């Protein structure tokens, strides 16, 4: 799956770039479910964006699109004050943080209508990368001879799939408000239990665990429709509106005889001086 997913992403982004797509930008609130919630993984907040293709179905009351999405969420940080290993024992901050990043392929089905509200259903599959990071930073902007440190404690790629249900509030032809609830079923990942973080001398100690990573995500954002499609081949005509491809004739009918042209008037050359 790890090798196959990048190829699918390249294919979909190539296809989407050639179509009349739309873009979505969202604020999201992921909440842990089941085993992840029971282990006190914190709810998060963050952002995401979608890129969706033009409607794949033609001459249908359904709108079906394929796309891809990227998401990034923070799931809490624990900080402790420490003394840095500097000549003056300057004050610093020792912190550990949980976050996750999602890279997903998406399909969307909605009904074509002219109403202000359009319901839709999404299905998605991909990976969510769960990370726990550790940082040591000075409280001052700069301390000579001290370099801040950052390191990954855990980094796990967990396979996810799920579905979303939402409503589009169509502001106009170019913009819409997107509200969405998603359920994401996830494989196991390693992460730090932030509640266990405690100082041991001048070191931050904490416990780690491994759980399944099911999530419930609420999102709200804006949809921007890019280059709306006006393909004349997709237009349907009623019997009374069938296009007329017959050639047009001048008023008064076609003349019986061709109209003669006036003979050119001969020009006498001017004698040379």
pLDDT digits (tens, 9 = 90+) for 214-270: 999 999 999 998 865 444 444 444 445 555 555 554 555 555 555 555 555 555 555
Rounded Cα distance, 128 and 190, in Å = 12
Whole-model pTM? 0.75
For the segment 13-62, what is each residue's pLDDT rounded down to a tens digit?
Answer: 554 444 467 899 999 999 999 999 999 999 999 999 999 998 888 777 78
> Is pLDDT above 80 for 186?
yes
Write down the pLDDT at residue 225.
86
Distances (CA, A) of 87 to 4, 83, 199: 51, 11, 21
> Is pLDDT above 90 for 120?
yes
Give me the chain's average pLDDT, please. 83
Higher pLDDT, 273 or 226: 226
DSSP 263: P
DSSP 145: T
Rounded Cα distance, 71 and 189, in Å = 17
Q: Tell me what the mean pLDDT of segment 60-68 comes to.
A: 88
Write down the pLDDT at residue 236.
46
For the segment 135-167, what is each residue's pLDDT rounded down to a tens digit?
Answer: 999 988 888 878 889 999 999 999 999 999 999
Distances (CA, A) of 163 to 143, 172, 174, 223: 49, 27, 25, 19
Confidence of residue 208 (pLDDT cuts 50, 70, 90): very high
Token pair in block for residue 104: 């997903």
Burial degree of 247 (CB within 10 A; 0-12, 13-18, 19+):
exposed
Write down the pLDDT at residue 204.
87
For the segment 86-108, what is each residue's pLDDT rounded down to a tens digit?
Answer: 888 889 999 999 999 999 999 99
For the segment 210-230, what is each residue's pLDDT rounded down to a tens digit?
Answer: 999 999 999 999 999 886 544
């Amino acid at each position: 799956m790890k090798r196959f997913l990048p190829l699918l992403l390249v294919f979909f982004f190539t296809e989407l770039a050639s179509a009349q797509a739309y873009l979505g930008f969202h604020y999201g609130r992921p909440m842990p479910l089941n085993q992840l919630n029971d282990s006190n993984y914190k709810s998060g907040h963050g952002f995401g964006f979608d890129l969706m293709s033009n409607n794949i179905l033609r001459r249908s009351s359904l709108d079906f699109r394929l796309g891809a999405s990227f998401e990034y969420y923070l799931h809490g940080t624990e900080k402790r004050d420490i003394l840095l290993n500097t000549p003056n024992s300057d004050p610093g901050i020792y912190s550990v943080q949980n976050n996750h990043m999602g890279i997903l392929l998406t399909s969307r089905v909605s009904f074509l209508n002219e109403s202000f509200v359009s319901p839709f259903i999404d299905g998605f599959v991909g990976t969510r990368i769960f990370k726990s990071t550790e940082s040591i930073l000075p409280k001052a902007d700069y301390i000579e001879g001290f370099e801040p440190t950052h390191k990954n404690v855990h980094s796990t790629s967990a396979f996810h799939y799920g579905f979303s249900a939402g409503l589009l509030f169509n502001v106009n032809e170019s913009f819409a408000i997107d509200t969405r609830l998603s359920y994401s079923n996830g494989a196991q990942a390693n992460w730090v239990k932030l509640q266990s973080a405690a100082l041991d001398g001048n070191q931050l100690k904490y416990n780690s665990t491994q759980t399944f990573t099911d999530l419930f995500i609420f999102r709200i954002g804006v949809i921007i429709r890019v280059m709306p499609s006006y393909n004349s081949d997709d237009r349907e005509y009623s019997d009374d509106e069938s296009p007329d491809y017959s050639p047009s004739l001048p008023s008064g009918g076609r003349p019986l005889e061709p109209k003669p042209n006036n003979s050119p008037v001969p020009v006498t050359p001017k004698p040379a001086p």
